Every structure is written in C-alpha cells, then in structure tokens.
Chain A
Amino acid sequence: MIGQTLRISFRAIWAQKVRSILTMLGVIIGVAAVIALVSLGNGAQQSITSHIQSLGSNLIDVNVGYNPFAAGAAATTSSTPPTPPPPLTPSQVAQLGSTKGIVAAAPVMSGSATLAVGDNTLSSSLDGTSSAYASILQYHVAEGRFLSPLDVQAANPVIVLGSGDASSLFGAANPIGDIVTVNGIPLHVIGVLAAKPTSAGSNPNDFAVIPWTTYNQIFGDNGITTVDLSAAKSANVNNVVDRLEDKLLNWLGSSQDFTVTAQSQILSTLSAVDKVTTYLLGGVASISLIVGGIGIMNIMLVSVTERTREIGIRKAVGASTRDILLQFLVESLVLSGVGGLIGVAGGVAFSHVIGQALQSTAVVSVPMTIVAFAFALAVGLVFGLWPATRAALMRPAAALRVD
C-alpha cells in the first residue's frame, strides 16, 4: 500500500516536473546552505584548534607590561600612561617555573633579525630563550642539539635554526657547525629543529633560537618581559594560572601590570565562539528551509484545489479519509525528501568548492547532514499537513460536482 502510495506521489510530482523542481528549490537551497555553512564553520574551527594545539596545549604565557583590560582592575581615568612595571629577574623566572603544576619555564625575547650565510641573507624572526623552550613549545631537534643551560649561562655564540630558516639559508646541506651571522654577529649553528605542520596563516618553522643572554648582547638588555611555561598534563590549568597570578601580583603590586594566558583557555574560548558562530550560521540557513516549506505548502494547496475531482473519484472508488491524507502527505514528503537529498549533494559539493577556494578545509559533519535532511522531511511533513487535511476532508459528492 505504502509502495503504491509512493508510486502515485512520484507520478503526480512527475506530471508537474517544472513546478515540482521549482517547489523543491527552496528546500534544496536551504539544506545545501545549512550543510555548506556548518561545514565551513567546522573547518575553520578545526584549523584554529590545530593551530593552537601545535603551539602546545599546556602552554601558559606570562607577560609583564601594562594591561588596562586586566580582569578585576579598577578603571583608570587618567590619560597619562602609567610607568611600565619592572621586568622579571632570572630568579623570578625560576620561581615561576617551580610553581606547583608547572614543569618548565623559559624566558622568551622575540624580535626579528637579518640572518646571513655568505651572500645569502634572510630576514627572520628570532627568539632569545633558554633550554626549556623546546619542550615547552613542543619542538623536536632534527639535527645536532638544542640550547643547553651552559649556553645560556655563558652567553655562547650559538644558534638553533627552525627547519624553514635552515633550508632557506643552507638548502639541502647540513648546517651543523657552520656559521650564521645575526645582525653581523657570527654564531655557530648547533642544531636544526624538526618541521611542524604548517597551518593556515602562520608558519611555525621560519625562525631561529639563540640563548637569551646572547640575545641581550646583540640587541641590548631590555629585561625579561615574557615567560613561556608548560603546565603538567595532569594539572588544572585554571588553578595553575591562579598561582602564577598570585606570585606576579605579589611582585608587581598591580593586576594591571601583567597578563597570564593559558593556551587551553584561549582554545576553549575560541572553539566555543566558533561553535556558536557555526550553529548561528546553520540556524540562519535553516530559516531558508522553513521558507522552502512554505513554498511546498503553497504548491500543495494549489495542487489539492486543482485535483478536487481526482480526490472525489478516489473517494468514490473507496479511498478513505486516511488514504487521501496519506497520499498528499507522502507527496509533500517526497517533494521535501527529494529536495533534501539534492540539497545534501549540493551542500557537500559546495563546501568542498568553497573550502578549496578559501584554502581552508571544509569538514562535512555527518550528524549535521542527517539533521538537515531530517529537518527538510519535518518541514515537508508540517507544511504538508494542512493541504493534505484539506484534501482528505473534502466531501466526495461536492468534490465530484466540481468541473
């Protein structure tokens, strides 16, 4: 019976091909839009997440410097910038590193410099730091070795190259033991880092690392204002951040003089924001699905009116109210279902095209696709209900008198 009802519906839809396709268009566009937008949102979220995770998800950043937006800080109305807080001392860095829940700490000075090997020069970012840096930021050494505590203590003229800088300066040759000049100062290459996967918008391999003491000799001593720390895997990052903030507040006296940022907190905030954005986009797109449903209802109402005599004939030969209701409901479900399927195909194709154009990965979410399709069916059901009821409740005698 349901098989024959389906056949009847397909035939009725086929009999009005152009009209049916135009009717389905609303659902097609709605489903495709939901899938494409959610996929792109998911893709964006994944690339942000993987980018931040590549920095090390246990990473905590301490910055010393005036931060007017610090939480809990009293709003200052004065327009003169306050005096900057004093930089941290190496022993304070060590004390931060021995905070409960912290496994490593490294001062980081960042800048850019001109690296040269013979005539081959390269403008690159350069970090001055200590031996803990590699483990905190999850870099592995591909060749040679990383900075040692002794290199820092003695301000040795040594440099470790990121894989990008190594290949820019030396090509395929092994640079270990060679000399690289940094702003004209010659340094020995002691190591090359293994490449990290690049992600959208940044390259974690185009840089070089030297001891922070050496950095100060080259660029002048501006003190330690940034410390990267690594939290233990088992540690509660929020508690660790609190402890660090307590220490810093103790030293500096004002919560506006420093910032402690945990990568995992940024990560969860960003991915929460992104999730909201994704579902917001999906929600907006699903409005077009509802509009598509209204289109179906409109056409079904027209169809019921046009087919009054058919309804009368079917009732005369024995169709019950339920049979007619079912027939028109199935018809509207077929319209929305076929539209939904085409929309799914279109949405998946569209997300790949757009994903490629934007060079971001579009991640088609299977549950979301199922939800979008189910929503299309639900729209067909809800908006088919009224026309189908109208058809089903027609009085056969009256329906047969219509010409």
Chain B
Amino acid sequence: MATLLALDHITKSYPMAGQEVPVLKGISFSVQEGEFVTIMGPSGSGKTTLMHILGCLDVPTQGEYHFRNMELAHLSEMQLTRVRREQIGFVFQNFNLLTTLNAVENVALPLIYQRISRQEQYRRAREALARVGLEHRLTYRPNQMSGGQQQRVAIARALVTRPPLILADEPTGNLDSQTGLEVLQLFKELSQEGHTIIMITHDHDVAKWGQRILEIKDGRIVADREVTA
C-alpha cells in the first residue's frame, strides 16, 4: 500500500512571554493510504496542534511533512489553502457547523470554494448527507438537531469533497457514549469503504476503534502499535 503522508522530525513552538515554548518536540510517523489511525494522548499533549499541522491549518516550526508527492512544511498560505481544499476533510470536537446555514448548505460549503455549479454542490451535499443517514434532515439548522446529528452533518461535510484524508479531532468528545458509539461506527464503515482516517482522542476505548494507535505524550510519540482485534 502507498504511503499517504510522512512526518519527519516535526516540531512546533509557540511564542509565549518572549520565549518559544515547544509543544511538538520531533514527531515522526507515516500513514498508509486506507489506514485508520488514532492518535491518543492526555489533554495538553499537543494533539490538536499536530492535527492543525497535518491539516495544513498551521505550519511546523521545523521538520518535513510529505503528503503524497508534495512537501508541505514550507508552503505559502495560498498553496496550503489548495491542499486543505482538495486533500483534507475535517471533523471537529464541537462540530463547527455554521449556525446560519442548514444541513445541506453546511455540507455544500467546501464545494463553494471549489467553484462547482450550485446544482452539483447540492446534489453532492444531499448524497453525502444520505451516506451519514440524514437525508431526512436536509433543511434543518444545527440548533434544530441533536449533537450526534450535528456531528454526522460535519462528517458529511468532510466527505463531500471526497478527500484522500479525513482528520477528526476528538469527534466524540461532546457526545454521550451511545451517540459517540454511533459516530465511531460510522468512521469504521468509512474506513472499510477505503477512506484514510486520522482520529484524535484522549480516550483509550475510543482509540481502539482504529487499526493503529499512536500515543503522544508531552509533544512526543511514545508508542505506535497495531490494534489486535
């Protein structure tokens, strides 16, 4: 199987009170196409920071980031935007839907920025919503839906551009355990359909849903193991 991405000694520090505070201290790992990887670590260990770098929402202080045949670590903002737009789908802990838009419009949002015709946007958005089982909630606003439904809308939004990589940052963190299980089941199905997924969590039980667990602690990868079923 082909390597989708590889991090090589990635570091990230934030300036704080005139000093550079290191958050990621040399992260190296690679992910194969079609893998379902979970990154597990305690709060404050740098998981979100890592996800922002993986998702081209931020750039590392040092190190190299190979994605397919591109080197992303030192791209301009414009180039990073293109990678985000075409290669990555995001799912966040707090759903991050736009409250003024209904379900289809939220799902169609990434397609607006791909300059696709409106009919095509909506056709694809409806299709993605059907995939997550929400074809009957097309015109619902986020505040008219349960947390589990909102997260499924967010997953549909991540799927709608058919990206090579889906990044999820604590996708079950704001959900009760039953709803959380449903969302995890959905991720598992997506993985079985061939999507590459990197899911971040602080919860060992959640991490077990992946095929492989990377443990992060204090800005370093401390373990990398396959999940045995």
Interface residues of A (CB under 8 A from B): 1, 4, 11-12, 15, 309-310, 312-321, 323, 395-397, 400-401, 403
Contact = CB atoms under 8 A, between A and B. Distances in A.
Contacts of B110: 317-318
B98 A310 contact: yes
Given A4-B118, A318-B113, A396-B58, A313 B98 contact: yes
A320 B113 contact: yes
B92 interface: yes
Given A313-B98, A317-B113, A318-B113, A397 B78 contact: no
B112 A4 contact: yes
A321 to B, nearest CB: 6
Nearest to B58: A397
Interface in B83-114: 84-86, 90, 92, 94, 96-98, 100, 109-110, 112-114
Contact of A397 (B57, B96, B97, B118): B57
B224 interface: no
Contact of B109 (A314, A395, A401, A403): A314
B77 A321 contact: yes
Given A309-B96, A320-B78, A397-B52, A315 B58 contact: no
B59 to A, nearest CB: 9
Given A12-B100, A317-B109, 5 more contacts: A11-B100, A321-B78, A400-B52, A400-B92, A403-B94
A317 B90 contact: yes
A396 to B, nearest CB: 4
B55 A15 contact: no
Contacts of A310: 98
Contacts of A1: 112, 115
Contacts of A314: 109, 113
Contacts of B94: 403
Interface of B: 48, 52, 55, 57-58, 77-78, 81, 84-86, 90, 92, 94, 96-98, 100, 109-110, 112-115, 118, 157, 161
14 contacts: A1-B112, A4-B112, A313-B97, A314-B113, A317-B84, A317-B85, A318-B86, A318-B113, A319-B81, A320-B78, A320-B85, A395-B58, A396-B52, A401-B48
Contact of A316 (B90, B100, B112, B115): B90
A316 B85 CA distance: 8
A143 to B, nearest CB: 76
Nearest to B167: A316
Contacts of A4: 112, 118
B112 A320 contact: no
Interface centre among B81, B86, B94 (most CB of A within 10 A): B81
A60 to B, nearest CB: 71
A312 B52 CA distance: 12
Given A4-B112, A11-B100, A323-B113, A318 B57 contact: no
B117 to A, nearest CB: 10
A400 to B, nearest CB: 7
A313 B96 contact: yes
B81 A318 contact: yes
Nearest to A5: B112
A400 B113 contact: no
Contacts of A315: 57, 81, 84
A97 B147 CA distance: 99
Contacts of B96: 309, 312-313, 316, 400
A225 to B, nearest CB: 81
Contact of B84 (A11, A316, A321): A316
A9 to B, nearest CB: 12
Nearest to A320: B81
